[in-house]
Structure 1
Amino acid sequence: MKKCLLILASLVFIGFQASAQKVEFEEFDLDNGLHVILHQDNTAPVITVSVMYDVGGKDLGGSPEAPRTGFAHFFEHLLFEGTKNIGKGEYSKIISANGGNNNANTSLDRTYYYEVFPSNNLELGLWLESERMLHPVIDQVGVDTQNEVVKEEKRLRYDNSPYGQFLFAVSENLFKVHPYKNKNIGEMSDLDESTLEEFKDYHKKWYGPNNATLVLAGDFETAKAKALVKKYFKDIPKGNTPVRNFPKEAEITETIEAKFYDPNIQVPAIITAYKTPGFKERDAYVLSMVSAYLSGGKSSKLYKKIVDDKKMALQVGAINIDQMDYSIYALYGLPLGEVTLEALLAEIDEEIVKMQSELITERDYQKLQNIFENRFVNSNSSIEGIAGSLATYYTLYDDVNLINNEIDIYRSITRQEIQDVVKKYLNPNQRVELEYLPEEKTNN
């Protein structure tokens, strides 16, 4: 009886946490098309000012005759160079001198900038982002400077990092016509060959207020915040309305076998990758649960079986890479000792077939529900995290309310649905089988 009461109490506590984390927000639009989201939370004297632009690595620069990769990521760097009213290299210095920190990141689908300040610097944060939107200095000096920065980032994070080109190798084999086949960081030859006018045209096309979402989260007074937003952003001219028309990918109906050679590794890897629905689709949520089931920690099915029990692999896992148009579902393993890639793949596939043949247990299902309840609570536990979620759900999902009710989607997914989705997408004839191999050294 006591045990039952403890279980009941824990369930009530989880439910309380989930409901207690509800995020209140207010939205409005300026006449120039800028969408603004306010989340007031006066529990701590901190604010986050962020802007998400609806432009990512899939949006190529250059021209239809000479498309250029890597432009969105390049602008993530370039828009820190300075503005008409902020000197070269002074942007981040101003932020740190006023007790703040800042960062930016780019995916294939969007670009995100944010600052975190003591709340008495709300106006400063808004001015900085309005300067970035209205008055950036895009000149040859800045382009040349950031070109070298991006090249160094590519060398450090990808070219010289073990398994650093894993995602590139998968994408270029999985996608044939959609720009998801390209590297988010871009090809350095594309950036080298791009003209200053091409960079200016790209900024004009994608970085207007009507292609952006501004989020304020934290300790502010709403009426004052609205007045400051209008003061700094209402006179920024509306930009063009970008139009996308990406080609559709054909279904994969036969296994695609591929190899990739990485000079930075000694242990090979086997990777299977599947083209799956974009992240707004219900099946994408189900696949996230499949990933957690297969490789959500050391007690997960793949790790427990292949690493712990059979000692066939150094590492094994499943990754659901969420993207707007098509997602990527990948399984991978690094063999241990004399284990072959073929043998390791057979063990991984055995777990997939098992999921296709029988329902996961009720106990495992409840474990999954607890994992996603915990993720939901943690995602709304910081002002910075809430700001990012609000921007993401509006810009990419067209539904800000997902910040509060996305968990209901996971709660509604059934064991039968999990089995059905694994049957639908994770079959050998629908995938790329990639051998990720050490590059043999040659003697000159």
Structure 2
Amino acid sequence: MKRSLLAHNALMAATFALVLSPAALAATPSQTPLTAPPPAVVAAASPGEEAPVAQQFTLANGMTLIVRPDRRAPTVAHMLWVRVGSMDEVDGTSGVAHALEHMMFKGTPDLKPGEFSRRVAALGGRDNAFTSRDATAYHQQVPSHQLEAMMRLEADRFARTQWADEEFVREIEVIKEERRQRTEESPRARMFEALNAMVFQANPYRRPIVGWMSDLDAMTPDDVREFYRRWYSPTNAAVVIAGDVDVAQVRALAEDIYGRIPARALPARKPREEPLQVGPRKLEFRAVADQALVALAWKAPRWTGEGDAGDGSQQDALALTVLSAVLDGYSGARLERALVQGSGAGGKRVADTAGASYGLMGRGPQLFLLSAVPARGVTPEMTTAALKSEIERIAREGVSEAELRRVKTQWTASEIYKLDSVFNQARELGSYWINGMPVDTGDRLMKLLQGVTAAQVQSVAQRYFSDEQLTTGVLVPEPGRRETATPAAAGNRPALRH
């Protein structure tokens, strides 16, 4: 599968949005988890002009404000990030973070359901939201002269959201339909959901972002309201603004508009550490499907932005990022050449598609994933062996300097193209904040990745891919199998918002 580096860029990640279904791990390029690093937040500047930089402030009530000026067009991206996602849920209420995201569009004391988006459209803008394991984010893009009006709308929603029980009853059916269409009607998505639940045992990443259907069936309006009261405090939120703005003016507006929202104490976040895996795990997921699918998942260290020079796990995280890009970071990378084009050992084409991904960063543990769809006549076992052999080859022989140069050159190019979107700039700044990182993380990360050596890449290939830490998922096609999912009749399906 040919994929650009931009297709791997975050939101994110990590792991990023609910709209990125688990099927994406093997099916859709633009929805595949991170293999390239998130582009650095670097401004494009005219010759002789110094590039503007992002600045971060703390408002009087503890809310964070991040502003990144970009004067190239009279538009602005406005994002409200809340550091709460599916990982903050408890068993029995899976999907509540995402349900709250939906309900945030259902009104305030002064706005009727759906009125928020109509007001944004009247300002000449567009809006949406997403939920991930780590965060929930609400975003708009409006003409820069409408920024103040946009801020007042979002601040009102954040502080005073409310809805009638009847609105929740209707909206939960939309969410169930979202789960049906994106998960239950896709054998690949269901296989990845089951694999994820096997990989993680104690960590809340094991639960699907959209929630288990039984939890959605049992969810109540008060479950969602309680989640809102617990987590939607200014001290747990950040406003990120990128575009045609003056930093001082935006700061004054934010203090006046957002800084007035009363702060509330946050509940303690208890550690939920994943126990050490002490042997291989394997899942065979049987479903009505046209083709098999193989996924190999290894737990890997996450990059926290600390220990740049001396911390071994931090250096390993950077090297694993480069390794994933060598395997699948550009057209004609190693997995495509060896498995799809058939240039590997034996010269046989063994897969229709093959890919690699690595999370790099997030609030919870990360995975290094290899996946492939076996070619006709090729067994999942053969495909699994071919995927492993590419890691083993790098462990034995290393990677060439030419490969490293190509990966790093493409990363540099992605920095330039990314800057065309103020939304991408705001999204990256927000994702760094969610992970507790400063606004210059992008610049620093890119410099660190440029310094990763071939020896470091070979070293992580030798140390992180034992069967002891491997979880394998195989989608086994059974054309005659009777599916148990009960999707809604096509004529009765509610429209999805995402």
Distance 1:216 1:442 in 2: 51
Distance 1:250 1:80 in 2: 39
Distance 1:198 1:330 in 2: 34
Distance 2:42 2:256 in 1: 37
CA spacing shift, 1:305–1:23, aligned 2, 3 Å? farther
**1:289 corresponds to which letter in structure 2?**
V
Distance 2:376 2:415 in 1: 39
TM-score, scaled to structure 2: 0.81
- Match for residue 401 of structure 2? 362
Q: Report SS of the residue matched to 2:87.
A: coil
8 Å Cα contact 2:52/2:69 also seen in 1: no
TM superposition shift of 1:229: 1.2
Question: Which shifted more, 247-256 or 78-87?
Answer: 247-256
- Match for residue 61 of structure 2? 32
TM superposition shift of 1:212: 0.3
**1:299 corresponds to which letter in structure 2?**
G
CA spacing shift, 1:282–1:185, aligned 2, 3 Å? farther
For residue 278 of structure 1, the aligned residue among 302, 305, 308 is 302
CA spacing shift, 1:286–1:380, aligned 2, 3 Å? farther
Q: Report SS of the residue matched to 2:335.
A: helix
Question: Which shifted more, 189-198 or 127-136?
Answer: 189-198
Is residue 320 from structure 1 mapped to residue 383 from structure 2 by the alignment? no
Distance 1:86 1:26 in 2: 32
- Match for residue 8 of structure 1? none
Distance 1:391 1:213 in 2: 7
- Match for residue 127 of structure 1? 152
Distance 2:65 2:231 in 1: 18
**2:440 corresponds to which letter in structure 1?**
N
Distance 2:231 2:315 in 1: 29
8 Å Cα contact 2:54/2:439 also seen in 1: no
Alignment of 1:387-402 (within 5 A): 387-402=426-441
Is residue 217 from structure 1 mapped to residue 250 from structure 2 by the alignment? no
- Match for residue 4 of structure 1? none
Alignment of 1:254-273 (within 5 A): 254-263=279-288, 265-273=289-297
Is residue 340 from structure 1 mapped to residue 376 from structure 2 by the alignment? no
TM superposition shift of 1:261: 2.5
- Match for residue 297 of structure 1? 330
8 Å Cα contact 1:268/1:438 also seen in 2: yes
Distance 1:148 1:35 in 2: 34
- Match for residue 81 of structure 2? 52
CA spacing shift, 1:320–1:166, aligned 2, 3 Å? farther
Distance 1:259 1:344 in 2: 15
TM superposition shift of 1:23: 5.0
Segments of 5+ residues of structure 2 without an aligned counterpart are 1-40, 46-50, 305-313, 343-347, 484-498
8 Å Cα contact 1:267/1:335 also seen in 2: yes
Distance 1:442 1:222 in 2: 60
8 Å Cα contact 2:65/2:251 also seen in 1: no
Distance 1:311 1:118 in 2: 51
**1:164 corresponds to which letter in structure 2?**
A
Write the deviation string for residues 283-306 of structure 1: whole angstroms up to 9, x where unpaired.
333222211111223311111111
TM superposition shift of 1:162: 4.9
TM superposition shift of 1:225: 2.0
Q: Report SS of the residue matched to 2:222.
A: helix
Write the deviation string for residues 36-72 of structure 1: whole angstroms up to 9, x where unpaired.
01112222100111111000111115xxxx6411111
Is residue 178 from structure 1 mapped to residue 206 from structure 2 by the alignment? no
For residue 160 of structure 1, the aligned residue among 162, 167, 185 is 185
**2:143 corresponds to which letter in structure 1?**
P
Is residue 429 from structure 1 mapped to residue 494 from structure 2 by the alignment? no
TM superposition shift of 1:221: 2.9
Distance 1:314 1:222 in 2: 50
Write the deviation string for residues 338-387 of structure 1: whole angstroms up to 9, x where unpaired.
11111111111111111111220111111121122223333334211111
TM-score, scaled to structure 1: 0.90
- Match for residue 404 of structure 1? 443
Percent of paired sites with the same residue:
27
**2:316 corresponds to which letter in structure 1?**
D
**2:356 corresponds to which letter in structure 1?**
A
Distance 2:482 2:372 in 1: 30
**2:468 corresponds to which letter in structure 1?**
N
8 Å Cα contact 2:61/2:263 also seen in 1: yes
8 Å Cα contact 2:83/2:134 also seen in 1: yes
Distance 2:44 2:152 in 1: 33
Segments of 5+ residues of structure 1 without an aligned counterpart are 1-16
- Match for residue 220 of structure 2? 195
CA spacing shift, 1:443–1:401, aligned 2, 3 Å? closer
Q: Report SS of the residue matched to 2:395.
A: helix
8 Å Cα contact 1:82/1:90 also seen in 2: yes
- Match for residue 452 of structure 2? 413
8 Å Cα contact 1:35/1:213 also seen in 2: yes
8 Å Cα contact 2:96/2:223 also seen in 1: no
- Match for residue 167 of structure 2? 142
CA spacing shift, 1:380–1:421, aligned 2, 3 Å? farther
8 Å Cα contact 1:23/1:403 also seen in 2: no
Q: Report SS of the residue matched to 2:296.
A: strand
CA spacing shift, 1:152–1:94, aligned 2, 3 Å? same
Distance 1:214 1:85 in 2: 22
8 Å Cα contact 2:103/2:171 also seen in 1: yes
Q: Report SS of the residue matched to 1:304.
A: helix
- Match for residue 6 of structure 1? none
**2:335 corresponds to which letter in structure 1?**
L
8 Å Cα contact 1:138/1:200 also seen in 2: no
For residue 108 of structure 1, the aligned residue among 119, 128, 133 is 133
Distance 1:292 1:210 in 2: 36
TM superposition shift of 1:141: 1.9
The runs of at least 4 aligned residues of structure 1 exceeding 6 Å deviation read: none
**1:48 corresponds to which letter in structure 2?**
A
Alignment of 1:78-89 (within 5 A): 78-89=103-114
8 Å Cα contact 1:269/1:334 also seen in 2: yes
Q: Report SS of the residue matched to 2:188.
A: coil
Distance 2:57 2:441 in 1: 18
Write the deviation string for residues 3-37 of structure 1: whole angstroms up to 9, x where unpaired.
xxxxxxxxxxxxxx978575512221112110001
Distance 1:50 1:19 in 2: 18
Distance 2:92 2:465 in 1: 33
